Amino acid sequence: MVRFTVLASGSKGNSTVISGGRTRILVDAGLSCRELFRRMKIVGEDPETLDAIIITHEHQDHINGLAVTARKLGIPVYFTEATHRAWMRWLTPRRQMSYAQWIELCRKQAAERQAESDNASQPGDPAETDPEETEADCAVASAQLQKPAPAGPPSMKEDPTWLPAVEYFEAGRPFAIGDIGLSPFTIPHDAADPVGFVFGAEGVRMGLATDLGYITPNIKLQLRRLDLLLLESNHDLEMLRDGPYPWSVKQRVLSRVGHLSNDAAADFLSNTYDGQAAYVILAHLSENNNLPELARVAAERALAGKASLLANRLLLAEQHQPLVPVIF
Ligand SMILES: [Zn+2]
Ligand SMILES: [Zn+2]
C-alpha cells in the first residue's frame, strides 16, 4: 500500500509523509517537531517508523523543525550539498564587522601567512628535525586522543547544525531510499539549489512541485504519467497586486524565481498536463493573496476538458490541518 499525506502546506510550514513498501519518508520539516508528530498521529502515521527526511530547499517554511526532528528520531537527512550548506549558514549566526575591522582582520591574516611562509623557507626548520619538537607534538596529539569522547551528540546550543547523518543527492540523478525511488529535478526558486521530486513506490508515481517561479520545459517532462500530482497554486494575481505585501515582496513572489500563481498552475493543467493522475493536489496556497475557492475554480476549469472521469480528483492542501491520506 502506498500512502501520500500532506501534513501542512503553505508559507507557515510544509511537510508531507510518503509511505511505500517498508519505507516511510518525510518530505520537508517545516513545522515544529511537536506539531509534526501531533499531525502524524492525527492521520495514523507513527513518527518512530520514519526512515529519512528529504529537504527540497532551505527556506524556513521547509526546514523549521528539521534539526530537532532528525535528532529525536535519529534518522538521516537528504539534501543537495548546496542546500545543506545554505541551511548550516542560516543556523550559524554571522559576526557583523565594520569595514575598518575587516581591513584589520585582512592585515593580520596576511601577516600570519607571511610569518608561516618565512618559517617554512628557513633551512633546517627545527620543527622538521628536532626530535624534542616532534615528541612535544606527539604529546599534544595523544593528550587530545585521550580526552574522553563526548557522551552522545552535541546539544542544539553547542552545534545547531549537527544531524545524525547527512546524505547528498543531485538534481537529475534518481536514487532510492528503501522501497521508495526519488527523482529530484531543479525548480526555479530563490534558494540555493531547490528541487521538486517524482516519487515512485509499488508502481505508483507521485510528483511534488511547489515553490517555483514558473514551469520549465524540464519540469513539464518530469510531471508526466503521474498517479498523483501535488502542484503549487500560490496566489491570485489580482489579490497579490492589491494585497498588503510591500512592493519588493510582491516583485519577489511574481518573479521567475518566486511562486506559481493560480493562473500559471491552471495554464499547466489545461495545456501541458497529460490528465493521467488520479489525484491533483493544489498546494502552498497563500493565506494573504489567495482564496481556496479561487484556486479550486481555476484548476477545475483547467481540468474540465480532461477525458477520464475517474482521474483528476482535485484536493486542496491546507496550512492548519493535515489532508486525509491519499491511498493507492
Ligand atoms: Zn515554501
Ligand atoms: Zn521557498
pLDDT tens, position by position, 274-322: 999 999 999 999 999 999 999 999 999 999 988 666 789 999 999 999 9
Residue 267 CA to ligand 1 center (angstroms) comes to 21
What local confidence, expressed as pLDDT, does residue 203 receive? 97
Q: What are residue 20's DSSP bridge partners?
A: 23
Residue 32 CA to ligand 2 center (angstroms) comes to 17
Percent of the chain topping pLDDT 70? 88
Counting ligands in written order, the one closest to the CA of 284 is 1
Residue 213 CA to ligand 2 center (angstroms) comes to 10
What local confidence, expressed as pLDDT, does residue 105 receive? 77
Give the global pTM. 0.83
CATH annotation of 3-91+159-327: 3.60.15.10
Phi, psi angle pair for 84, to nearest 5°: -60, -45
Residue 167 CA to ligand 2 center (angstroms) comes to 21
Residue 14 CA to ligand 1 center (angstroms) comes to 7
Average pLDDT over residues 125-149: 43
Helix, strand, coil proportions of the chain in percent (round to 5)? 35, 20, 45
Counting ligands in written order, the one closest to the CA of 208 is 1
CA distance 268 to 263: 9
**Is 86 strand, coil or helix?**
helix
Neighbours of ion ligand 2 (CB under 5 A): 59, 211
Q: What contacts 240, CB < 8 A, 6 or more positions away? A: 250, 253, 254, 261, 286, 289
The secondary structure of residue 53, as a DSSP letter, is E
Residue 10 CA to ligand 2 center (angstroms) comes to 10
CA-nearest of 300, 210, 313, 324 to 292 is 300
Residue 62 CA to ligand 1 center (angstroms) comes to 6
**Is 76 strand, coil or helix?**
coil
Q: How confident is the model at residue 123 (pLDDT cuts 50, 70, 90)?
A: very low
Span 232-272, pLDDT tens digits:
999 999 999 999 999 999 999 999 999 999 999 999 999 99
- Residue 127 scores a pLDDT above 50: no
Q: Which residue has the higher pLDDT, 96 or 55?
A: 55
What local confidence, expressed as pLDDT, does residue 149 receive? 53
Residue 167 CA to ligand 1 center (angstroms) comes to 22
CA-atom Rg of the chain in angstroms: 25
Q: How many CA atoms lie within 13 A of 262 on its CB side?
A: 22
Residue 259 CA to ligand 2 center (angstroms) comes to 8
CA distance 59 to 83: 9
What average pLDDT is seen over the chain?
A: 89
Residue 101 CA to ligand 1 center (angstroms) comes to 37
Q: How confident is the model at residue 120 (pLDDT cuts 50, 70, 90)?
A: low
Average pLDDT over residues 154-180: 95
Any idea where the domains of the chain sit in the sequence? Answer: 3-91+159-327
Place of cell 495545456: 271
What is the total residue count of the chain? 328
